[in-house]
Amino acid sequence: MGVTKAAPHFSVEEVKRRMDEAERPLYRKRWRIIYHALVDPSHAEEIALHCGVAKDTVHKLISQYNRFGLAAIETTGKGGRRREYLSLEQEKHFLEPFFNRAQAGEIATCAEIQRAYEECVERRVDDSTIYRLLERHGWRKVVPRPKHPKASREVQEEFKKTSQHALTKSSLQNQ
């Protein structure tokens, strides 16, 4: 293959500034590849080696950049919710009755929420979908409290003292 060159959509200074100021690491890496292809055009293998990416990544990025300019660099990137059943706002609206019930002290189970969700989206969903939905909206699993709020330490200690005597007396009488 030949030398990989980037089209001069931006000046070298502008590319360097964008490389330094980019918010996301993905954008910084992309700008570094463009910078290298502008300042020192060379084979894609060499640019890939210097920038820590695959040769195909360099080919693809330079090709996209030469055609589309800035739009090739600052894309949405990886991750995200590409297969969502409901938007975040719709999810919030869906969960509202369950949150209201929970505020009133009623219990809402995941199975119950899953049935309602499946009815809403008109298809079956995996349990993990519901767990991620609840996590996204700040709901957490409520665990039983370690002690009763009206429990008294003194009464418990007194019970421990007297219950042992009662148990040994009753076991001796039964023998």
Q: pLDDT confidence of 56, banded at 50, 70, 90? A: very high
**Does the pLDDT value for residue 1 go beyond 80?**
no
Structure confidence by residue, pLDDT tens digits, 37-55:
999 999 999 999 999 999 9
Cα angle 15, 43, 51 (rounded to 5 degrees) comes to: 50
CA–CA separation, 147 and 137 (whole Å): 28
Structure confidence by residue, pLDDT tens digits, 123-147:
999 999 999 999 999 887 666 667 7
User: Is residue 43 a contact partner of residue 4, using CB atoms and an 8 Å limit?
Assistant: yes
